[in-house]
């Protein structure tokens, strides 16, 4: 398996592999960039079809975290962890403890948090073996769970995109197609419903769809039919690469704004959206609410930083995602350059200025 010549390598500072035969753990941690601070990113558990698929995912996700933290103005770098396995069948305390040992061995260059296939309870288990874990502070807004903040950031972003593209100051009657109703997607759907939006939903888990239909009066949509709906907004909130060669031609929405990471299969798809006049809200800007939340949770643990300050600063930062998006949209229009290119440039300007690679304090590590 080639690393340095991998198409997604993008000058990663470190890629570490871990195998623990006793627990069955097979995991990869990728640290993309630590110029602004230690790499913080979620730990995903997924039954990848191949090791190469897992490597590609972790490289893409960790890079996205670097850009996400930079655009959110956080003193953090970008990293990610993936565990190869089915979270419904393969997850055990022994496996999570082994993952904690793996993270601890990196000495603080990477800090983990929950992600797809993991939970706050899992992070607490990992935390038995390492202090480099976040999103577990029980006194925080949602007991350590950052997904509500992620969802609210997506809602703020979607609202900003609707204003910019459609000139609407509210979401009443705005048609939104949501792909994926997990922790973030369902909370987003609730907020959109409360704002008066009309919802169309799909998910690989039928129970999630049934719940949205029952509780939110959403319209259920079968699988890939979600792409071709005549709606205002398409909100991808499942796995990455939702915008690809097969789906991009089906889109009828005028806005793409959702929670999923790496929504564009390739950069060319971002150019195609721009050429078609579809406003794309770059995913790592839109879904930054969760990383903002765990950042402030960690500040509460490490510094004399009270709950009131956490709540105030968290709310301000998440609302600020809309402001950042507005700047990206305006600059994209002025320069006739796709929004994802503008977002990349702004992020790179920020993390490239800090040239020192973060090394943990050997005492605290």
The string of pLDDT tens digits covering residues 80-131 is 999 999 999 999 999 999 999 999 999 999 999 988 899 989 999 999 999 9
Spatial contact of 117 and 44, defined as CB atoms under 8 Å apart:
yes
- 14-126 and 147-287+321-342: identical CATH topology: yes
What pLDDT was estimated at residue 364?
42
Q: Which of 10, 71, 56 is nearest to 262 (CA)?
A: 56
pLDDT band at residue 296 using 50, 70 and 90 as cut-offs: confident
What pLDDT was estimated at residue 365?
38
The string of pLDDT tens digits covering residues 231-283 is 999 999 998 899 999 999 999 999 999 999 889 999 999 999 999 999 999 99
Q: Is the pLDDT of residue 51 over 70?
A: yes
Tell me the CATH architecture of domain 14-126. 3-Layer(aba) Sandwich (3.40)
pLDDT band at residue 146 using 50, 70 and 90 as cut-offs: confident
Range from 25-29, 139-143, 201-205, 249-253 carrying the lowest mean pLDDT: 139-143
- Look at the domain 147-287+321-342 and name its fold: Rossmann fold (3.40.50)
Q: Which residues contact 132 (CB under 8 A, 6 or more apart)?
A: 38, 103, 104, 106, 108, 110, 111, 112
What pLDDT was estimated at residue 125?
97
Q: What is the average pLDDT value for the chain, to the nearest integer?
A: 92
The string of pLDDT tens digits covering residues 274-286 is 999 999 999 999 9
pLDDT band at residue 356 using 50, 70 and 90 as cut-offs: low
Q: Where are the domains of the chain?
A: 14-126, 147-287+321-342
What pLDDT was estimated at residue 355?
62
Alpha-carbon span 316 to 172, nearest angstrom: 24
What pLDDT was estimated at residue 80?
98
Residue 43 exposure: Cα atoms within 13 Å on the Cβ side: 35
Question: What phi and psi, each to the nearest 5 degrees, are found at residue 298?
Answer: -65, -35
What pLDDT was estimated at residue 297?
83
More confident residue, 73 or 226: 226
What pLDDT was estimated at residue 363?
40
What pLDDT was estimated at residue 139?
59
pLDDT band at residue 133 using 50, 70 and 90 as cut-offs: very high
Q: Is the pLDDT of residue 63 over 90?
A: yes
Active site includes 80? Answer: yes
pLDDT band at residue 310 using 50, 70 and 90 as cut-offs: confident
DSSP label at residue 356: S
Q: Is the pLDDT of residue 48 over 90?
A: yes
Q: Is the pLDDT of residue 223 over 60?
A: yes
Q: Is the pLDDT of residue 140 over 80?
A: no
Alpha-carbon span 57 to 8, nearest angstrom: 9
Q: Is the pLDDT of residue 361 over 60?
A: no
Question: What phi and psi, each to the nearest 5 degrees, are found at residue 154?
Answer: -65, -40
Catalytic pick among 26, 80, 91, 129: 80
What pLDDT was estimated at residue 142?
61
Supply the pTM of this predicted model.
0.85
Strand intervals (E) in 21-128: 25-33, 39-46, 77-84, 110-114
What mean pLDDT comes out for the span 213-229?
Answer: 97
Q: C-alpha distances in angstroms, 317 versus 58, 73, 81?
A: 26, 9, 25
Q: Is the pLDDT of residue 362 over 80?
A: no
């Amino acid at each position: 398996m080639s690393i340095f010549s991998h198409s997604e390598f993008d000058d990663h500072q470190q890629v570490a592999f871990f195998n623990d035969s006793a627990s069955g753990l097979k995991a990869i941690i990728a640290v993309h960039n630590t110029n602004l601070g230690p790499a913080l990113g979620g730990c995903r558990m997924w039954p990848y079809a191949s090791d190469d698929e897992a490597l590609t995912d972790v490289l893409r996700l960790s890079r996205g975290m670097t850009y996400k933290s930079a655009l959110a103005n956080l003193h953090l770098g970008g990293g990610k962890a993936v565990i190869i396995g089915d979270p419904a069948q393969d997850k055990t305390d022994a496996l999570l403890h082994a993952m904690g040992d793996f993270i601890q061995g990196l000495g603080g260059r990477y800090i983990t948090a929950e992600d797809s296939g993991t939970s706050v309870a899992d992070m607490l288990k990992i935390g038995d073996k390492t202090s480099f874990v976040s999103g577990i502070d029980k006194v925080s807004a949602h007991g350590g769970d950052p997904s509500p903040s992620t969802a609210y950031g997506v809602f703020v972003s979607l609202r900003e995109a609707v204003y910019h593209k459609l000139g609407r100051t509210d979401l009443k009657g705005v048609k939104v197609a949501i792909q994926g109703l997990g922790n973030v997607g369902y909370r987003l759907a609730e907020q959109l419903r409360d704002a008066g939006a009309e919802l169309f939903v799909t998910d690989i888990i039928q129970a999630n769809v049934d719940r949205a239909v029952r509780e939110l009066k959403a319209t259920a949509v079968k699988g890939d039919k979600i792409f071709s709906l005549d709606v205002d907004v398409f909100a991808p909130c499942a796995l990455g690469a939702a915008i690809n060669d097969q789906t991009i031609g089906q889109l009828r929405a005028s806005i793409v704004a959702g929670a999923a990471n790496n929504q564009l299969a390739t950069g060319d798809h971002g150019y195609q959206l721009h050429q078609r006049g579809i406003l794309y809200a770059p995913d790592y800007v839109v879904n930054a609410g969760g990383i903002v939340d765990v950042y402030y949770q960690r500040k509460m643990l490490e510094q004399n930083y009270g709950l009131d300050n956490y709540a105030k600063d968290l709310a301000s930062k998440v609302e600020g995602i809309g402001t950042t998006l507005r700047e990206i949209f305006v600059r994209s229009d002025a320069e006739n350059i796709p929004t994802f290119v503008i977002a990349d440039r702004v992020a790179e300007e920020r993390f490239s200025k800090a040239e020192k690679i973060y090394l943990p304090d050997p005492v605290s590590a």
